Amino acid sequence: MIKQILFTVVFLITLGVFAWSVFRLWSFFKLTKPAYPIKNISARITRTLNVAFGQSKIFRKPVIGFMHALVFWGFLVITMGSVEMVYDGLVGFDRSFAFMGTFYDVIIASGDVFALIILVFIVLFIVRRKFMNIKRFKGVEITPKANLDAQLSLYFIGLLMLSLLVFNLGYISNHSNEILGVYPVSSQIIQWTSFDFGVMQESGWWTHILLIFIFANYLPYSKHFHVFLSIPNVFLSNLDPLAKYPNLDSVTKEVKLMLDPNATYDETDEVTRFGVKDVEDVTWRNYMDSLACTQCGRCTDVCPANITGKLLSPRKILVDLRHRMNEKGALLLKGTEDTKSLVRDYISEEEIWACTTCNACAQECPIEISQPNLIMDMRRYLVMEEASAPAGLNAMFANIENNGAPWQFSPEDRMKWAD
């Protein structure tokens, strides 16, 4: 009974802290602009099954992709067992879901096997990140703090798997006459050793549960927030072709006013900014991308601008957006502002104009993030609000305005070449 009360108190505190974090992020979302409507649910479900659950894009790097996919699938299975552990803690029972029979045996056995697989892979991931010179793990956006965050998340996951195995070992030792569930790995370990794991069942259970609660509340502030957001991010991704960029409603209205003699100007319309200057100009989709970004670097790894030595890193664009929202979002909610902006203070003009809009980054992203969409909106701001563009583009704009074409010839002279 004391264990049940103590667990309930810890559980409620965990829910309260997590709810506060979610409310904070939701308040930031309310500062953003609308995006596209969520339609074609069947196509979204298909994409989610293929990209999110099937991990199809991850396998473009076969070895490390397979390892990551196994960790992901293992997490899904182990989460089912974790739900049972939470329920057991609340009601004071043990193995509450054992009535499911064969299905329960499959889930528990899979969780026991995956716990060992994930633990081994996590050790390899840590070694790879700390001691192997992986180019895409570097960059100006990968600060020492970001590196520590990545390593800390790996340690959390490793300890979660280790504590689960310890709990399973303790359970088998204490219930040798009536074991509910199947434990291929743990039962084999017990046969190999003479150690009495029974005394470790309770400590393994509490350690695993507390690590789950702590990790869940750490994730909203970590790059590993994709643990929660990767699947929703894929489901809510834009189904349009990558090269199709949305028109600005404000520009569309202006064009209609110029071309349609029956169009009328609504003086109550709010004057909106063209493009993106700061975080309050981005859409909810852009901000969700920044939160879901795994910072894996696959986008930067294939970016032709970055490969040829340009300043642009597509990953940095998303990291900067998230950092800027953390900074300015808190100020906007208090009714104050600062003098900085996303454009120039975080993302330079050189980065914005280095993008070739080839969409290699968006094609490569394992959770369907579109970096060029945000880059194009920042370009729109620079051109339409500040008339700031590279000299070549400014010359083209001037020619279009004066000559009706990008070339430096009047319309009357265009056919002279034929003579």
The per-residue pLDDT for 268 is 63
Name 189's Cβ contacts closer than 8 Å, sequence gap at least 6: 165, 169
Which regions in the chain score pLDDT beneath 70? Answer: 266-271
The per-residue pLDDT for 214 is 94
> What pTM value is reported for the model?
0.89
- Token readout for 278 is 């700061």
Name 118's Cβ contacts closer than 8 Å, sequence gap at least 6: 70, 71, 74, 75, 78, 157, 161
CA distance 70 to 77: 11
The per-residue pLDDT for 323 is 94
The per-residue pLDDT for 409 is 79
Q: Which long-range contacts (CB under 8 A, 24 or more apart) does 301-305 make?
A: 301/135, 301/136, 301/364, 302/360, 302/361, 302/363, 302/364, 303/360, 303/361, 304/356, 304/358, 304/360, 305/354, 305/355, 305/356
Nearest to 29 by CA among 415, 413, 287, 238: 287
Nearest to 61 by CA among 366, 293, 312: 366
Q: From its phi and psi, is residue 359 left (phi > 0), alpha (psi between -120 and 50) or beta? A: left
CA distance 233 to 57: 14
Round the CA-based radius of gyration of the chain to a whole number and report it: 27
- Token readout for 194 is 């003479």
Name 234's Cβ contacts closer than 8 Å, sequence gap at least 6: 47, 48, 51, 52, 367, 368
CB atoms within 10 A of CB 14: 18
Q: What are phi and psi of 263, to 5 degrees?
A: -75, 145
The per-residue pLDDT for 229 is 93
Give the CATH number of domain 249-388; options: 1.10.3470, 2.60.40, 1.10.1060, 1.10.3720: 1.10.1060
Please write the tens of the pLDDT for every residue from 194-235.
Answer: 777 777 888 888 999 999 999 999 999 998 899 899 999 999
The per-residue pLDDT for 152 is 92
The per-residue pLDDT for 201 is 84
Asked if 167 and 160 count as a contact pair (C-beta separation under 8 A), the reply is: no
Name 187's Cβ contacts closer than 8 Å, sequence gap at least 6: 172
- Token readout for 386 is 């500040």
